[in-house]
Amino acid sequence: MTKIKAVSIFIAILSLAGCAGSPELLDLIDQQTHGTSKTATQAQMVAAVREALNQGNARAVKSLGRRDGFMKNPQVRIPMPQNLKRIDQGLRAIGQSKVADDFVLSLNRAAEAAVPLAKDVLVDAVKRMTVKDVVNIVRGPDNAATQYFRKTSEPRLRKGMLPIVSSATTRVGVTRSYKQMISRAGPLSAFVDLKSLDIDSYVTRKTLDGLFLLIAQEEKRIRENPVARTTELLKLVFGGNG
Protein backbone atom coordinates (compact mmCIF):
# COMPACT_ATOMS: atom_id res chain seq x y z
CA MET A 1 0.00 0.00 0.00
CA THR A 2 1.49 3.34 -1.04
CA LYS A 3 1.87 6.27 1.31
CA ILE A 4 -0.54 8.34 -0.78
CA LYS A 5 -3.14 5.60 -0.53
CA ALA A 6 -2.65 5.28 3.21
CA VAL A 7 -3.19 8.98 3.79
CA SER A 8 -6.20 9.06 1.50
CA ILE A 9 -7.81 6.09 3.20
CA PHE A 10 -7.39 7.71 6.60
CA ILE A 11 -8.92 10.92 5.26
CA ALA A 12 -11.85 8.91 3.94
CA ILE A 13 -12.39 7.12 7.23
CA LEU A 14 -12.16 10.32 9.23
CA SER A 15 -14.43 12.18 6.85
CA LEU A 16 -17.06 9.46 7.03
CA ALA A 17 -16.87 9.51 10.81
CA GLY A 18 -18.75 12.81 10.94
CA CYS A 19 -19.63 12.54 14.59
CA ALA A 20 -18.90 10.16 17.43
CA GLY A 21 -22.12 8.19 16.94
CA SER A 22 -22.07 7.80 13.16
CA PRO A 23 -23.97 4.56 12.34
CA GLU A 24 -22.48 4.59 8.84
CA LEU A 25 -19.00 4.43 10.28
CA LEU A 26 -19.93 1.66 12.70
CA ASP A 27 -21.47 -0.34 9.84
CA LEU A 28 -18.33 0.11 7.76
CA ILE A 29 -16.08 -0.97 10.62
CA ASP A 30 -18.34 -3.93 11.25
CA GLN A 31 -18.13 -4.91 7.59
CA GLN A 32 -14.35 -4.82 7.76
CA THR A 33 -14.29 -6.76 11.02
CA HIS A 34 -16.41 -9.59 9.63
CA GLY A 35 -14.75 -9.65 6.24
CA THR A 36 -17.83 -8.71 4.22
CA SER A 37 -15.97 -6.13 2.13
CA LYS A 38 -14.98 -7.52 -1.24
CA THR A 39 -11.93 -5.36 -1.72
CA ALA A 40 -10.60 -4.33 1.68
CA THR A 41 -10.02 -6.13 4.95
CA GLN A 42 -9.91 -4.94 8.52
CA ALA A 43 -6.15 -5.42 8.47
CA GLN A 44 -5.83 -3.18 5.41
CA MET A 45 -7.95 -0.45 7.00
CA VAL A 46 -5.98 -0.50 10.25
CA ALA A 47 -2.69 -0.60 8.35
CA ALA A 48 -3.78 2.41 6.30
CA VAL A 49 -4.61 4.44 9.41
CA ARG A 50 -1.29 3.46 10.97
CA GLU A 51 0.60 4.52 7.87
CA ALA A 52 -1.20 7.87 7.74
CA LEU A 53 -0.38 8.53 11.39
CA ASN A 54 3.24 7.54 10.87
CA GLN A 55 3.49 10.05 8.06
CA GLY A 56 2.02 12.83 10.18
CA ASN A 57 4.36 12.02 13.06
CA ALA A 58 7.36 11.88 10.75
CA ARG A 59 6.51 15.30 9.34
CA ALA A 60 6.27 16.75 12.85
CA VAL A 61 9.61 15.25 13.88
CA LYS A 62 11.28 16.37 10.67
CA SER A 63 9.93 19.90 11.03
CA LEU A 64 11.27 20.26 14.57
CA GLY A 65 14.42 18.16 14.35
CA ARG A 66 16.36 20.50 12.08
CA ARG A 67 18.18 23.78 12.47
CA ASP A 68 15.69 26.49 13.54
CA GLY A 69 12.89 23.91 13.80
CA PHE A 70 12.14 25.30 17.26
CA MET A 71 13.88 28.64 17.17
CA LYS A 72 12.07 30.06 14.16
CA ASN A 73 8.65 28.59 14.93
CA PRO A 74 6.92 30.99 17.36
CA GLN A 75 4.40 28.29 18.29
CA VAL A 76 7.05 26.01 19.80
CA ARG A 77 10.08 28.24 20.43
CA ILE A 78 11.41 27.56 23.92
CA PRO A 79 11.39 30.80 25.95
CA MET A 80 13.50 31.96 28.85
CA PRO A 81 12.57 29.87 31.94
CA GLN A 82 10.10 31.69 34.14
CA ASN A 83 12.41 31.90 37.15
CA LEU A 84 15.03 33.66 34.98
CA LYS A 85 12.66 36.31 33.65
CA ARG A 86 13.95 38.92 36.10
CA ILE A 87 17.51 38.33 34.97
CA ASP A 88 16.38 38.47 31.34
CA GLN A 89 14.66 41.81 31.88
CA GLY A 90 17.63 43.20 33.79
CA LEU A 91 20.12 42.23 31.09
CA ARG A 92 18.01 43.83 28.38
CA ALA A 93 17.68 46.99 30.46
CA ILE A 94 21.46 47.40 30.57
CA GLY A 95 22.05 46.63 26.88
CA GLN A 96 23.01 42.97 27.33
CA SER A 97 20.19 41.49 25.23
CA LYS A 98 22.58 39.34 23.21
CA VAL A 99 23.65 37.43 26.31
CA ALA A 100 20.03 36.53 27.07
CA ASP A 101 19.29 35.79 23.41
CA ASP A 102 22.28 33.45 23.15
CA PHE A 103 21.02 31.46 26.12
CA VAL A 104 17.52 31.12 24.63
CA LEU A 105 19.06 30.09 21.30
CA SER A 106 21.08 27.37 23.02
CA LEU A 107 17.91 25.97 24.63
CA ASN A 108 16.22 25.69 21.25
CA ARG A 109 19.29 24.17 19.61
CA ALA A 110 19.29 21.46 22.28
CA ALA A 111 15.64 20.69 21.56
CA GLU A 112 16.29 20.52 17.82
CA ALA A 113 19.08 18.03 18.45
CA ALA A 114 16.99 15.84 20.75
CA VAL A 115 13.62 15.59 18.98
CA PRO A 116 14.61 13.05 16.26
CA LEU A 117 14.70 10.43 19.02
CA ALA A 118 10.91 10.60 19.12
CA LYS A 119 10.42 9.07 15.68
CA ASP A 120 11.13 5.45 16.62
CA VAL A 121 9.10 5.71 19.83
CA LEU A 122 6.09 7.05 17.94
CA VAL A 123 6.43 4.38 15.23
CA ASP A 124 6.36 1.75 17.97
CA ALA A 125 3.24 3.33 19.49
CA VAL A 126 1.51 3.11 16.11
CA LYS A 127 2.52 -0.55 15.73
CA ARG A 128 0.93 -1.32 19.09
CA MET A 129 -2.42 0.17 18.05
CA THR A 130 -5.33 -2.25 18.27
CA VAL A 131 -8.46 -2.15 16.11
CA LYS A 132 -10.23 -0.60 19.11
CA ASP A 133 -7.58 2.13 19.28
CA VAL A 134 -8.11 2.91 15.59
CA VAL A 135 -11.90 3.07 16.00
CA ASN A 136 -11.55 5.36 19.03
CA ILE A 137 -9.26 7.67 17.07
CA VAL A 138 -11.60 7.77 14.09
CA ARG A 139 -14.60 8.51 16.28
CA GLY A 140 -12.78 10.85 18.64
CA PRO A 141 -12.06 14.59 18.61
CA ASP A 142 -9.63 16.28 16.23
CA ASN A 143 -6.71 15.47 18.52
CA ALA A 144 -7.72 11.90 19.45
CA ALA A 145 -4.59 10.39 17.89
CA THR A 146 -2.40 12.97 19.61
CA GLN A 147 -4.02 12.10 22.94
CA TYR A 148 -3.29 8.43 22.25
CA PHE A 149 0.38 9.16 21.56
CA ARG A 150 0.68 11.35 24.64
CA LYS A 151 -0.85 8.65 26.82
CA THR A 152 1.15 5.75 25.41
CA SER A 153 4.46 7.41 24.58
CA GLU A 154 5.13 10.50 26.69
CA PRO A 155 6.70 8.72 29.72
CA ARG A 156 8.97 6.71 27.43
CA LEU A 157 9.83 9.77 25.36
CA ARG A 158 10.63 11.80 28.45
CA LYS A 159 12.87 9.09 29.86
CA GLY A 160 14.67 8.52 26.56
CA MET A 161 14.95 12.17 25.63
CA LEU A 162 16.36 13.48 28.90
CA PRO A 163 19.88 12.05 28.44
CA ILE A 164 19.84 13.14 24.79
CA VAL A 165 18.91 16.66 25.88
CA SER A 166 21.63 16.54 28.55
CA SER A 167 24.20 15.62 25.92
CA ALA A 168 22.83 18.23 23.52
CA THR A 169 22.91 21.00 26.12
CA THR A 170 26.59 20.31 26.61
CA ARG A 171 27.31 20.10 22.89
CA VAL A 172 25.50 23.30 21.91
CA GLY A 173 26.80 25.27 24.87
CA VAL A 174 23.72 25.74 27.03
CA THR A 175 25.70 25.55 30.27
CA ARG A 176 28.31 27.95 28.94
CA SER A 177 25.63 30.43 27.83
CA TYR A 178 23.87 30.06 31.17
CA LYS A 179 27.01 30.79 33.18
CA GLN A 180 27.81 33.77 30.99
CA MET A 181 24.31 35.14 31.45
CA ILE A 182 24.42 34.74 35.23
CA SER A 183 27.84 36.37 35.45
CA ARG A 184 26.60 39.34 33.45
CA ALA A 185 23.49 39.62 35.63
CA GLY A 186 25.57 40.62 38.63
CA PRO A 187 23.45 41.59 41.68
CA LEU A 188 20.25 40.55 39.88
CA SER A 189 21.18 36.90 40.33
CA ALA A 190 20.80 37.29 44.09
CA PHE A 191 17.03 37.67 43.67
CA VAL A 192 16.60 34.42 41.70
CA ASP A 193 16.51 30.84 43.00
CA LEU A 194 19.07 29.50 40.54
CA LYS A 195 19.38 26.14 42.29
CA SER A 196 15.78 25.25 41.48
CA LEU A 197 16.37 25.42 37.73
CA ASP A 198 16.87 22.05 36.04
CA ILE A 199 17.70 23.13 32.50
CA ASP A 200 17.69 19.63 31.02
CA SER A 201 14.24 18.83 32.41
CA TYR A 202 12.94 22.20 31.26
CA VAL A 203 14.17 21.68 27.69
CA THR A 204 12.83 18.10 27.65
CA ARG A 205 9.38 19.22 28.78
CA LYS A 206 9.24 22.05 26.26
CA THR A 207 10.52 19.77 23.50
CA LEU A 208 7.69 17.31 24.10
CA ASP A 209 5.12 20.11 24.31
CA GLY A 210 6.27 21.38 20.92
CA LEU A 211 6.31 17.90 19.41
CA PHE A 212 2.77 17.06 20.49
CA LEU A 213 1.53 20.44 19.31
CA LEU A 214 2.82 19.74 15.80
CA ILE A 215 1.48 16.18 15.87
CA ALA A 216 -1.95 17.62 16.72
CA GLN A 217 -1.67 20.04 13.80
CA GLU A 218 -0.75 17.21 11.44
CA GLU A 219 -3.72 15.18 12.68
CA LYS A 220 -6.04 18.12 12.12
CA ARG A 221 -4.63 18.64 8.63
CA ILE A 222 -5.29 15.01 7.74
CA ARG A 223 -8.85 15.18 9.04
CA GLU A 224 -9.66 18.34 7.08
CA ASN A 225 -8.43 17.19 3.66
CA PRO A 226 -11.20 17.19 1.03
CA VAL A 227 -13.07 13.91 0.56
CA ALA A 228 -13.23 14.61 -3.19
CA ARG A 229 -9.63 13.55 -3.57
CA THR A 230 -10.31 10.06 -2.26
CA THR A 231 -13.16 8.75 -4.43
CA GLU A 232 -11.19 5.86 -5.90
CA LEU A 233 -9.82 4.85 -2.55
CA LEU A 234 -13.24 5.02 -0.93
CA LYS A 235 -14.33 2.38 -3.40
CA LEU A 236 -11.27 0.29 -2.62
CA VAL A 237 -11.67 0.39 1.12
CA PHE A 238 -15.45 0.30 1.41
CA GLY A 239 -16.33 -2.18 -1.30
CA GLY A 240 -17.15 0.08 -4.27
CA ASN A 241 -17.14 -0.98 -7.85
CA GLY A 242 -13.88 0.83 -8.80
Domain boundaries, the chain: 3-238
- Please tell me the predicted confidence (pLDDT) of residue 12: 52
DSSP string, 221-237: HHHHS-GGGGHHHHHHH
Question: What would the pLDDT profile of 194-242 be if each residue is shown by its tens digit?
Answer: 667 788 999 999 999 999 999 998 888 776 764 423 334 333 433 334 4
Mean pLDDT calculated for residue range 55-75: 94
Distance CA 123, CA 126 (A): 5
Distance CA 154, CA 118 (A): 10
Phi-psi region of 239 (alpha: psi -120 to 50; beta: other; left: phi over 0): left
Distance CA 11, CA 229 (A): 9
Residue 139 has pLDDT above 90, yes or no: no
- Please tell me the predicted confidence (pLDDT) of residue 34: 46
Residue from 128, 166, 168 nearest 149 by CA = 128
- Please tell me the predicted confidence (pLDDT) of residue 173: 84
Question: What would the pLDDT profile of 66-123 be if each residue is shown by its tens digit?
Answer: 999 999 999 999 999 988 888 888 889 888 899 899 999 999 999 999 999 889 999 9
Residue from 177, 212, 173 nearest 75 by CA = 212
Mean pLDDT calculated for residue range 18-27: 42
Number of CB atoms found within 10 A of residue 2's CB: 8
- 3-state helix/strand/coil string of 64-114: HCCCCCCCCCCCCCCCCCHHHHHHHHHHHHCCCHHHHHHHHHHHHHHHHHH
Residue 143 has pLDDT above 60, yes or no: yes
Burial of 74 (0-12, 13-18, 19+ CB in 10 A): exposed
- Please tell me the predicted confidence (pLDDT) of residue 48: 72
- Please tell me the predicted confidence (pLDDT) of residue 222: 73
Residue 185 has pLDDT above 70, yes or no: yes
Angle of helix 118-127 relative to helix 144-171, nearest 10 degrees, comes to 150
- Please tell me the predicted confidence (pLDDT) of residue 13: 54
Residue 189 has pLDDT above 90, yes or no: no
Number of CB atoms found within 10 A of residue 141's CB: 12
Q: Between residues 177 and 12, which one has the greater pLDDT?
A: 177
Mean pLDDT calculated for residue range 17-28: 42
